[in-house]
Copies of this chain bind each other. A is one copy, B any other.
């Protein structure tokens, strides 16, 4: 045990949780542009220095919030890969639609990308935010790749199935509609997507 850990209260895990909760709440209220790290510290009841030591920029804190949203979706192979993928992609769709509305009037009808686009842009601008975003997706997506490999081992998917490409097709279609074409995402679309990706289009 390292010396710092013996000094009493468990490090910062509770503070971390309060900070992320406050950040998510503020983000949903205000949107990315009006999101101020100092206000998160105030809402969470922690010193600014505590917050900045853990997440040095707004970009880092937002990545942590997105990771929290992602981690609320469990990933486990049930023996039915079609059902598992459908459940997973519906959960992603719900999360993306929620982030799409961040900081916008609910009835605005705006289908633009909101928070996800801001995270992508911050990742492109700042190498360290980019590394955090990539690490977050690597960690999460590895869970789904493992699920697809299990399905292949059990013969649910063909032996020549390419899990990485399959996952890119599925997640990619959702993000493409969110970030690029602005098309809507819903459960009916997820059904079409899973069918298309699993069954292909050639005879």
A residues in contact (CB < 8 Å) with B: 33, 110, 112-114, 116-118, 120-121, 123-125, 127, 130, 133-134, 137-138, 141, 156-158, 161-162, 165-166, 168-177, 179-182, 189, 192-193, 195-203
CA–CA, A162 and B10, complex, Å:
54
B117 x A113 contact (CB < 8 A): no
How many copies of this chain sit in the oligomeric assembly? Answer: 2
A110 contacts which chain B residues (CB < 8 A)?
Answer: 127, 130
A198 x B193 contact (CB < 8 A): no
Smallest CB-CB separation from A194: which chain B residue? Answer: B165
A200 x B198 contact (CB < 8 A): yes
A176 contacts which chain B residues (CB < 8 A)?
Answer: 168, 171-172, 175-176
CA–CA, A138 and B116, complex, Å:
21
